[in-house]
Structure 1
Amino acid sequence: MIPAQSFPRCARLTEAADYSRVFAGRHRSGGRVFLLKWTPNDTGRARLGLAISRKCAKQAVVRQRIKRVIRESFRQRRLAFPAVDIVVMCRPDAARLDKRRLREALERQWQSIG
């Protein structure tokens, strides 16, 4: 697999301290479907964290589908992002959208990071 097309562990937020640092930061972008929070990091690469709650989608199957769409979109754009830690949260509208619409909404949100 080509490294740019993978989603390695180094591209994920895995520690609670990392999430806390992002939530304490002041950079954010909100839309009808997704809310993004991000903060610069010193790893030299973009990293992704997900915070998809039951308030967003009651069924686990729906939450997992939303997470897959987010991870795939991030994976494809990962090298274009600056060195930031990003946490993606969703709003209840996300549960009602299909994959294509989720992806379109997320693409609009990615534009705010830069």
Structure 2
Amino acid sequence: MSDKRKSPEQSFSRDLRLLLPADYKYVFNQSIRSSDKLITILAKYNSSADQARLGLAVAKKAVKTAVHRNRIKRLTREYFRLNQDKIACADYVILVRNGIDKKDNSDIVQSLAKQFNYLRKKLTQNN
């Protein structure tokens, strides 16, 4: 039998996630914002974190069905995991807008790439 576990660089471990309400509150207060018609990303540099951390806020009000909410979260986590080397070390919270569930995966990934690229530039300018 082959072992199908992911290696550490392929996983999305707990230390890459925003877990506590205080972590989310930290990002919501005075953060850098990047948004388009699908996604808003809030970012705040965190000197105590040695790597980027991700928090997701996919509201039921914006995306009605659990299937679509889970698809969006899965795409976002996958993009974040695969592009760790291109993402600035900061804390991020992803907020979605109405209508994102009607878009296909490539549109969502393209939006994420554009937003993270913008935030990387802004964060490196400020720090």
* 2:73 is the counterpart of 1:67: yes
> How far apart, CA to CA, are the structure 2 residues paired with 1:48 and 1:99?
19
Q: CA deviation at 1:59?
A: 0.7
Long gaps (5+) in structure 1: none
TM-score when scaled to structure 2?
Answer: 0.84
Amino acid at match of 1:85: D
Per-residue Cα deviation, 1:10-54 (whole angstroms, up to 9, x for no partner): 000001100001001231001110000010112110000000001
- Tell me the SS of whatever aligns to 1:48: strand
Q: Deviation of residue 82 (structure 1)?
A: 2.2
TM-score, normalization by structure 1: 0.93
Structure 1 segments (4+ residues) deviating >4 Å: none
| Structure possessing the higher radius of gyration over alpha carbons | 2
In 2: Cα distance, 1:58 partner to 1:81 partner: 29
* Structure-to-structure mapping, 1:41-60, within 5 angstroms: 41=46, 42-60=48-66
1:32 aligned to 37, 53, 63, which one? 37
With 62-71 and 72-81 compared, the bigger mean Cα shift is at 72-81
Identity of aligned residues (%): 35
Q: Tell me, what secondary structure is at the counterpart of 1:25? A: coil
